[in-house]
């Protein structure tokens, strides 16, 4: 059996999807299941669809290709605004693309025309987080560009919150999105159909009955995959959090000082570490490192285990307080947050097992 490995409880992810979809439906909102956190794992994608998600969304064209090659026929959305160099591939695999620049729309129209294929466009609006999106005074120009298109169909507007600037969804910034939808629609032959009000961080507005009418889609990944909302530092009470467990193997167990011996410089990642002198402690080295996982996103599940630090391939843990002292060859378990899950999913050195 290969280690490290990520155990994925697909049934719990399916239940999370059902609960998120049901909660969103009370506000007239459809859910797009975001697969990027697990690199478009087909089994997870199918769980999202079985749970009622209307769309699947991912930020990488290669991940959309993976879904199509796995036989998934659901509508697919490219979450990241596309590079001009990938438009042909986008058109082949995506039904909907997020756009924020008229230049991109023009290039997308030319690419679609050359291939004889249509694609939908979701116009992104910046409502304060300062990541992608046009400003309100640019709405008219975008409407004129889209109105001139034959192959690119304007289907909606969307916004992103929390991912860059940490701005939380509110009734006010959702109102800005709805106003932008109205302005864009006024410049088009017909009103836009989709008003996509963010992702997991927007669920609290739904839960508290504060989501303004007219928002009819959310793009949800973290809540379904992990039952959490990192932007609000909360676990979502009606969802499962124990959906994924990292297991890694111990390769060394020794008593060592808690402070390194000698002058301290920067570590392998350019950081100058700080150590608390706790005397000699029993510690272990685990065969996983920063090349595989965002260390700060791991929570030990075994009592008495404390993470001390990691290099690219070695994770050092304090096991002095463990009642049953681990030995070489034993495994330790961790719960990942979103960032840790993302890095684990990306690492080719971590085996993914559905249980």
Average pLDDT of adjacent 10-residue blocks, the chain of 355 residues: 95 98 98 98 98 98 98 98 97 98 98 98 97 93 98 98 94 97 97 97 98 98 97 96 98 95 84 88 98 97 97 97 96 98 98 97
Cα gap 42→69, rounded to integer Å = 9
**Strands 152-158 vs 194-196: parallel, antiparallel or unpaired:** parallel
What pLDDT is recorded for position 348?
97
Check 12, 36, 256, 352 and give the catalytic one.
36
Cα gap 10→171, rounded to integer Å = 34
What pLDDT is recorded for position 64?
98
CB 293 within 8 A of CB 330: no
Residue 346 host element (H or E): helix 338-346
- The segment(s) of the chain belonging to CATH 3.20.20.10 are 10-235
Q: Which CATH number fits domain 10-235: 2.40.50.140, 3.40.50.300, 3.20.20.10, 3.30.420.40?
A: 3.20.20.10
- Give how far Cα 292 sits from Cα of 54, 266, 336, 342, 350, Å: 32, 21, 12, 10, 7
325 is catalytic: no
Q: For domain 244-354, give the CATH superfamily.
A: Lyase, Ornithine Decarboxylase; Chain A, domain 1 (2.40.37.10)
- The segment(s) of the chain belonging to CATH 2.40.37.10 are 244-354
Cα 354 to the center of its chain, rounded Å: 19
DSSP symbol at 64: H
What pLDDT is recorded for position 273?
81
Residues with Cβ < 8 Å from 163, sequence gap 6 or more? 129, 131
What pLDDT is recorded for position 353?
98
Closest CA to 226 of 79, 3, 15: 15
């Amino acid at each position: 059996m290969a280690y490290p490995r990520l155990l994925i409880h697909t049934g719990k992810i399916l239940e999370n999807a059902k609960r998120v979809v049901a909660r969103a439906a009370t506000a007239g909102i459809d859910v797009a299941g975001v697969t990027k956190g697990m690199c478009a794992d087909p089994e997870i994608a199918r769980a999202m669809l079985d749970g009622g998600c209307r769309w699947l969304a991912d930020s990488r064209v290669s991940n959309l290709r993976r879904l199509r090659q796995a036989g998934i026929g659901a509508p697919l959305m490219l979450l990241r605004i596309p590079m001009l160099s990938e438009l042909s591939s986008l058109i082949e695999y995506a039904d909907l693309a997020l756009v924020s620049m008229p230049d991109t729309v023009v290039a997308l129209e030319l690419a679609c025309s050359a291939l004889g294929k249509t694609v939908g466009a979701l116009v992104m609006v910046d409502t304060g987080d300062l990541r992608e999106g046009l400003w309100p005074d640019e709405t008219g120009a975008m409407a004129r560009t889209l109105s001139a298109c034959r192959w690119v169909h304007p289907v909606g507007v969307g916004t992103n919150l929390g991912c860059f600037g940490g701005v939380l969804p509110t009734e006010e910034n959702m109102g800005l999105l709805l106003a932008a939808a109205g302005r864009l629609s006024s410049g088009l032959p017909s009103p836009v159909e989709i008003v996509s009000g963010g992702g997991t961080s927007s669920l609290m507005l739904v839960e508290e009955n504060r989501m303004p009418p007219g928002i009819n889609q959310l793009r949800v990944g973290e809540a379904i995959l992990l039952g959490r909302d990192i932007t609000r530092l909360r676990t979502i009470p009606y969802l499962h959090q124990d959906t994924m467990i990292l297991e890694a193997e111990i390769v060394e167990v020794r008593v060592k000082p808690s402070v390194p011996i000698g002058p301290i410089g920067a570590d392998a990642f350019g950081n100058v570490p700080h150590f608390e002198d706790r005397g000699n402690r029993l510690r272990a080295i685990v065969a996983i490192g920063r090349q595989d996982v965002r260390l700060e996103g791991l929570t030990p599940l075994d009592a008495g285990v404390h993470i001390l630090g990691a290099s690219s391939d070695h994770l050092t843990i304090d096991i002095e307080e463990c009642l049953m002292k681990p030995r070489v060859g034993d495994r330790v378990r961790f719960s990942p947050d979103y960032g840790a899950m993302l890095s684990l999913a990306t690492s080719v050195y971590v085996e993914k097992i559905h249980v």
